Amino acid sequence: MDELLRDALNMHQVDEGNSDPNICEIDVEVNIGDGTYKGVDDEQPSEEAAKFYKLLTEMNENLYEGSKHSRLYFCIRLFHLKCMSGMTGKGLDLLIEFLKEFFPLAAIPRSSHESKKVIKDLGLGYEKIHSCPNDCMLYWELNEHQQSCHVCGRSRWVSNDPEHSVDGDGDTVRKRHAKRHPADAQAWKSFDARYPDFACEPRNVRLGLSSDGFNPFKILSTSYSTWPVVLIPYNLPPWIGMKQPSFILSMIIPGDKGPGNDIDIYLQPLIKELKQLWVGVETFDASVRKNFQLRAVLLWTINDFPAYANLSGWSTKGKYACPCCAAQTSSRWLSNGKKFCFMAHRRWLQKDHPYRSQKHMFDGTVEMRGAPPATSGSDILLMLKDLQFTYRKGMKSDLKKSKSTSSSVKRRHQEPNVDIDNDADEVEEDESHVAILWKKRSIFFELPYWEHNLLRHNLDLMHIEKNICENIVGTILNVDGKSKDNLKSRLDLVEMGIRRELHPEYLSNGNTRLPPASFSMSNAEKDLFCHVLRNIKVPDAYSSNISKAVNEKERKLQGLKSHDYHILLHDLFPIALRSSMSKQVTLAISELSNIFKILCGKVLNVEAIDKLQDRAAIALCHLERIFPPSFFTIMVHLVIHLPLEAKLGGPVYYRWMYPIERFLLKLKNYVRNKRFPEGSIAEGYLAEECVTFCSRYLVDVETVFDKPARNLRQVHDERIGSCYLFESGGEPIGKIEVVELDDRSWAQAHRYVLLHHEAIEPFQNEYKNILRDQMRARRSNARDVDRKFTETFHEWLGETVSQHSDVVDKVRFLAKGPNRVIKRYKGLIINGFRFHTKSRERCRRTQNSGVLVTSSTISYASARDANPLEGNVDYYGILTDIIELDYFNKFKVVLFRCDWADVNTSRGVKNDKYGFTMVNFSRTIHTGEHILDEPYVLSSQVKQVFLF
């Protein structure tokens, strides 16, 4: 506890030779808790020292007479219990009341409020800053005591509008051609090259920023939007950095409406602190017990697309909605669909690609333009150097009326009926025209390094996947209101003069017929598609139950979340479409799926990312040839920019919204008092932060840091766990049976253990030499020797070891063999996976019996092959049995028995044209029927595979 207090209050030099008389001369025994101190010349201690000694007194106060724990430790454990179990403040009060009733002599706080007061001086707190209701200014710094807004004149305390009155309530070694972390990517390396003084100190912090609005009340009918601002430190290793305990809730922007483009007003305090961190703040390094100058830098922001506009200043709506293409965005107004479409992906193709000249298969034009160049931060500052922006909610309409010239220019650029020519002359925009497209000059440009960051704002792949998948599902199933293929989209084809085979046909009875497209599905095909998704079984913790989202009666999918779309696009779509969609469409969607799989990989291969830009361009062009223009919303177009962002920023799981959305859900759960949602979030977060900090010092207590994941449990007792050879011990699932193995299964299991234990390797070599000498006279080949060795080695080893007394005990027990009475499991948690036998999962909605083992295998070309090849082979199987061998209480081994697909022929395992591995379990090997078969593998060797 002493170390905890010193770390929390940075009092490492107290009582360690510090010359400060306010600290080292204090008698901590005299009335510390009452604020009466005596020291040299009766000097009062500093504020931090006073907090330290007050907490020191709490630490030295026993909970009760004879207790080994202090009152402070009790309060910390109390709040740890509250946060780990999600207990309400009322629930904590009832618990304290219960404890005081049964332990009246213990120094237990009277309420949760009093216990909070005990630990509040650990330094965790927050500052409340008032703002103008119109988002004009903050009552902060020089304006802290101002009583009204100096921009709009609105009172700080009482609204002038009665209709809107408010109630007053370092260093790691990485492979050269792989990106595992943002530090491997170009943006990080470019920053290090520009600022070597920052890069030379590995303790300097790199941050990401994310902000998004959410309704804290969980009531969709209530319009309210709270905007937390979250900082993400990237210096931590991957298994810690993107976890919620590492996130920093730096600000909470209150509702009831989102700040929109006025968010910069609220970000001023944060930007000021980031400037201070760029200069550096003195920090104590506990590992070396020295102070150093800590600096921090903001690398980028992570947001959904609407928030991207609020933070960057570029409007993500209308004709120029793409912030990456900026003023060179190529869009087209669809006069029938009444919206913009974003095609022209042929710009990213090679100059001589044949698609560039194919007019009627695309948008009716010949495409000769190249890809638009990226806009740097310096270019943006140059555009906006002479423009002034005013922040205030109520001024938007006034500005439009007063600035008729600017608004008329902007209207011209967004005029729906303007014909969009593809000539290069239109691309050349003057600076005044481009500047009008910006909503504001982002406050992040106040950071001295921001304009030089290669990747300032990230496109959120999570929402891009969701929107693309929604387009595909709605269109191929022809869902009303969701399909991008309807009469209006067909009329747009007529207007563009392309794809005449899809033009509407007007019948004599006055009706209109829409010819079926290549992506159209009959009712029977829709039924088959829905049936596949309805009956598919996925592994545990892989996804939610997709089958619940399938409405077979109405032939549609409903109620899907972002991660459901992620799983559909990556894995399930290409499988479900194989028998219900044309080959052309299935191949196009499968290629899009493969692109997203590469982008979402934990490790990015540099060469694969370099090729991915061309693959993405060709994939989008294929989709342009299939789907109507209305399909290509701005979210579909953004796919073309994702490979470059992966190259600049590194793996996407550091830069997408999944962990942020989960964190926002946690903040939402803090809201218990619906009158003060932001206050509830702040108090709940501070309690959680306090427990997070204090839990680092708790021993033998489950905390947020060492809480095991669902499928990462191991044998709890280390003494028992050490008894398992090959680290094969796991956590059994279900009822344990005790059975006796038959002779053949016993020999196969025993032999597999012997052949994989390093202590037996010298005996293996000895016996092989003996067999070669014995069989040389018979002119036997290497294959015959291997066969004889496999069949008789376990018997020879038992006889040989029994005749020698100088053999170590482990070898002696291994040679003797296991007990024939074994334990049989129905399931086992090991290697981070949850395995079930095939019989156990028969009536379950998950499938956890698919296994993969990579094994070194000797391959013979023929029966007379004298030079066999040895290499790694992937074996696919279905788990049928889990057994635990007991070597007479000396050690144990857990083995999996599986039905193994035949990997020796393409009729057993092959790769199809969609990139999937096809496994035929009607053709199996090592069934266990013959003594030479190897149906068993070690549980620690097995990985899990998803078998469709």
Flag whether 167 is in a domain.
no
Q: Which of 122, 152, 179 is the last residue of a domain?
A: 122
Q: What local confidence, expressed as pLDDT, does residue 355 receive? A: 94
User: Does residue 748 share a domain with residue 858?
Assistant: yes
Q: Kindly tell me the sign of the dihedral angle through the C-alpha atoms of 309, 313, 318, 323.
A: negative
The segments of the chain whose pLDDT lies below 70 read 1-60, 117-126, 157-177, 220-221, 393-435, 713-722, 777-780, 858-869
Q: What local confidence, expressed as pLDDT, does residue 942 receive? A: 94
Contact predicate 518/584, CB 8 Å: yes
**Token pair 């997203």 is at which residue?**
596
User: Does residue 588 share a domain with residue 486?
Assistant: yes
Cα(921)–Cα(931) distance, integer angstroms: 21
| Closest to 687 (Cα-Cα) out of 86, 271, 268 | 86
Flag whether 705 is in a domain.
no
Q: What are phi and psi of 858, to 5 degrees?
A: -90, 125
User: Does residue 742 share a domain with residue 834?
Assistant: yes
Cα(580)–Cα(834) distance, integer angstroms: 32
| Closest to 621 (Cα-Cα) out of 862, 240, 356 | 356
Q: Which helix (H) or strand (E) holds 821?
A: strand 821-825
Contact predicate 622/586, CB 8 Å: no
Q: What local confidence, expressed as pLDDT, does residue 426 receive? A: 39
Cα(531)–Cα(539) distance, integer angstroms: 19
User: Does residue 865 share a domain with residue 780?
Assistant: yes
Q: What local confidence, expressed as pLDDT, does residue 67 receive? A: 84
User: Does residue 901 share a domain with residue 779?
Assistant: yes
Q: What local confidence, expressed as pLDDT, does residue 234 receive? A: 94
Q: What local confidence, expressed as pLDDT, does residue 159 receive? A: 44
User: Does residue 616 share a domain with residue 499?
Assistant: yes
Flag whether 340 is in a domain.
no
Side-chain-facing half-sphere of 738: CA atoms under 13 Å: 3
Flag whether 157 is in a domain.
no
| Closest to 152 (Cα-Cα) out of 130, 132, 129 | 132
Q: Which of 99, 122, 145 is the last residue of a domain?
A: 122
Q: What local confidence, expressed as pLDDT, does residue 524 receive? A: 94
10 Å Cβ neighbour count for 66?
Answer: 6
Q: What local confidence, expressed as pLDDT, does residue 256 receive? A: 82
For residue 805, give its domain range: 718-944
**Token pair 């030089």 is at which residue?**
452
Ramachandran category for residue 904: left, alpha or beta (phi over 0 → left; psi -120 to 50 → alpha): alpha
User: Does residue 748 share a domain with residue 610?
Assistant: no
Q: What local confidence, expressed as pLDDT, does residue 76 receive? A: 79
Q: Using the 8-state DSSP alphabet, how is residue 175 labeled? A: -
User: Does residue 740 share a domain with residue 600?
Assistant: no
Q: Kindly tell me the sign of the dihedral angle through the C-alpha atoms of 105, 109, 111, 112.
A: negative
Flag whether 848 is in a domain.
yes
Cα(856)–Cα(843) distance, integer angstroms: 35
Sort strands 205-211 and 296-302 into parallel, antiparallel or unpaired: parallel
| Closest to 885 (Cα-Cα) out of 934, 807, 841, 939 | 939
Q: Kindly tell me the sign of the dihedral angle through the C-alpha atoms of 90, 91, 92, 93.
A: positive
Cα(737)–Cα(723) distance, integer angstroms: 20
Q: What local confidence, expressed as pLDDT, does residue 714 receive? A: 56
Q: What local confidence, expressed as pLDDT, does residue 41 receive? A: 46
Flag whether 443 is in a domain.
no
Q: What local confidence, expressed as pLDDT, does residue 898 receive? A: 95
User: Does residue 643 share a domain with residue 552?
Assistant: yes
Counted domains in the chain? 3
pTM here is 0.81
Q: Which of 74, 107, 122 is the last residue of a domain?
A: 122
User: Does residue 728 share a domain with residue 646?
Assistant: no
User: Does residue 746 share a domain with residue 650?
Assistant: no
Flag whether 588 is in a domain.
yes
User: Does residue 727 share a domain with residue 624?
Assistant: no
Flag whether 141 is in a domain.
no
Contact predicate 804/833, CB 8 Å: no
